[in-house]
Amino acid sequence: MDAFATDAVEPLLEGRFGRPLRFVPRTESTQDLLRPDDPEGAVAATDEQTAGRGRQGRRWIAPRGRAILCSVLLRPPPGRRLPELSLVAGVAVADAIEEALGLSAQIKWPNDVLVNRKKVAGILAEARGDAVVLGIGVNVNQAREELPADTRPPAASLLTIDGVERDREPILARILARLEHHYDLWREGGLDAIYVDLGSRDFLRGRRVSVDGVSGTAARIDREGRLVIDVDGAERAIESGEVTYDA
Ligand code: BTN
């Protein structure tokens, strides 16, 4: 697999996201490569992370050169809810994956992007003062045996889904273009402004779920980015947590 080529991304950039695009061949985590004085839309990317982070203190593991591993610096308006940004990014990543694969992608609240019920991408939003570092990991060219085993949802890559090996650069450029588009809409109008693209991809809707001791049927992701669960006819809105669900 060729090393990631930033030269191949730059001509494909459509807006302000991806400028600058900082690439290092190997790093602990791209989440730590962006600086407080970087402009909004600055991106750090790598071919290999030695201490990649996932949500809930988990590790994010991908073999060198197979995945998109990047972080984007955002400066949302004060007072906006961080979890909403994971969903904004989820929509952007789902758009880019759908374009690459020609298959529909779903969003599993709060931060997973799934294709055929398998996780192909994850998003991690970390606050840095007033800024947010949005980490995006997309499994692109991993073979089945290179993916983490026994995860729920099970992991997949674009390669394991349709057998096609892809250049990562155009997919990253497309993620950045879609992220900028949906982020700008969200800045102006909140999740309402992107709700058609979010609600229609809600993987959990209608499934039996449990989050932090609350069990019921997932009703929807609401306009504040919470998961609404119907518990015997009464609705409970969950702010954050780890969802288990019936297949
Ligand atoms: C998750 O699904 O738990 C979130 C995974 C986020 C992984 C990405 S890879 C690039 C960036 N750097 C990290 O250390 N984590 C994020």
Spans of all domains in the chain: 6-199, 208-245
Do residues 152 and 244 touch, judged by C-beta distance below 8 A? yes
Contact residues of ligand 1, CB 6 A cut-off: 29-31, 49, 52-55, 58, 60, 69-71, 111-112, 122-124, 135-137
Q: Give the model's pLDDT for residue 2.
A: 77
Rounded-to-integer distance, Cα 72 and Cα 86, Å? 12
In testing the pocket of ligand 1, which one of 27, 69, 142, 168 has its CB within 8 Å of the most ligand atoms? 69
pTM beyond 0.95? yes
Q: How far is the CA of 235 from the centre of ligand 1 (A)?
A: 31
pLDDT, position 1: 61
Same fold, 6-199 and 208-245: no
Query: Residue 178 Cα, ligand 1 centroid: separation in angstroms?
Result: 18
Residue nearest to atom 2 of ligand 1 (CA): 122
Task: Return the best residue to mutate from 60, 61, 140 for the ligand 1 pocket (most ligand atoms within 8 A of CB).
Answer: 60
- Rounded distance from Cα 231 to ligand 1 centre (Å): 32
What pLDDT shows up at residue 215? Answer: 97
6-199 is classed in which CATH architecture?
2-Layer Sandwich (3.30)
Strand-strand pairing, 43-49 and 21-27: parallel
User: How many whole angstroms from 125 Cα to the centroid of ligand 1?
Assistant: 9
Q: In sequence order, what E strands does 90-161 have?
A: 106-108, 112-115, 118-128, 131-139
Tell me which residues of the chain have a pLDDT lower than 70: 1
- Fold of the domain spanning 208-245: SH3 type barrels. (2.30.30)
pLDDT value at position 165? 98
